[in-house]
Amino acid sequence: MEIAGYIASLFIGVALGLIGGGGSILTVPVLVYLFGISPALGISYSLFVVGFTSLVGAFNNYCKGLVNFKTVLLFGASSITTVFITRKFIIPQVPNVLWQSGSFQITHALLVMVIFAMLMLAASIAMIQNKKASVDENSLSKKKPVLLLFYGILIGLVTGFLGAGGGFLLIPALVILMKLPMKEAVGTSLLIISLNSLIGFMGDIGRYPIDWDFLFSVTAIAIAGIFAGGFFNQKVNAEKLKKGFGWFVLVMGIYILVKEIFL
């Protein structure tokens, strides 16, 4: 299974390079199911892998002039604070067994993986449908600061609790709220994801034993994938790839739900 895990790690980077998000949502399932790591440690490892992989992708986009730093600051103010507080202070207080009735238990690990699967289903549907939102420009301009704050906190919570970068939430927000071109939204998304993830990982330092050799190996493979994804982004139809990736994420989400609840 480890060989499949390393191959999947490459695919994580490819997805991040192609669409600026989505790949990170596979990181925890890959670590848990293919490498046999516990969900709690898998989330922490995911923050490191996603953080450094996205940082490399963001730098690559910065060199092309495709990172909007003003937007990074606007989102980062709320999302980075939220993810650090979540990882440093909230997660350590969550008990392993959340609810029990007789022999039936709802554990923290079970809840995390079920929520993760549902998040994957929601993200996959968004990628498959690819509907363009219609918005009221006047209403949007009045609500923009509140919406930015809301999105920042939401993305911080997703990153902090689940180890996913939240790119599937970020990209629509950057395009609709900030009116960024798609390619600039991808580059900006990667930098926000990297900052959130790495700050979240820093909140975990000292809580878990870290296998640094393994972590660097997976990260290096994912980084290679993000360069491959950036290359293919110039050669192939990104929308078709996005839909194809959406179907893959949909299947994975259904598999996780079935495995965790029924098997």
Q: Up-side HSE of residue 145: CA atoms within 13 Å toward CB?
A: 1
Task: Using pLDDT thresholds of 50, 70 and 90, give the confidence band for residue 248.
Answer: confident
Task: Using pLDDT thresholds of 50, 70 and 90, give the confidence band for residue 73.
Answer: confident
Contact 218, 6 (CB under 8 A): yes
Mean pLDDT, residues 188-199 taken together: 89
- In the chain, what percentage of residues exceed pLDDT 70? 87
And the tokens for 33? 């199911």
Q: At what angle do helices 2-19 and 212-233 cross, to 10 degrees?
A: 40
* In the block, residue with structure tokens 């959130």: 196
Query: Does the structure show a pLDDT above 80 at 247?
Result: yes
List all residues 6 or more positions away from 188 whose beta carbon is below 8 Å from its beta carbon.
61, 66, 67, 68, 71, 72, 174, 180
What is the rounded distance in angstroms from the CA atom of residue 221 to the CA atom of residue 227? Answer: 10
What is the rounded distance in angstroms from the CA atom of residue 177 to the CA atom of residue 75? Answer: 11
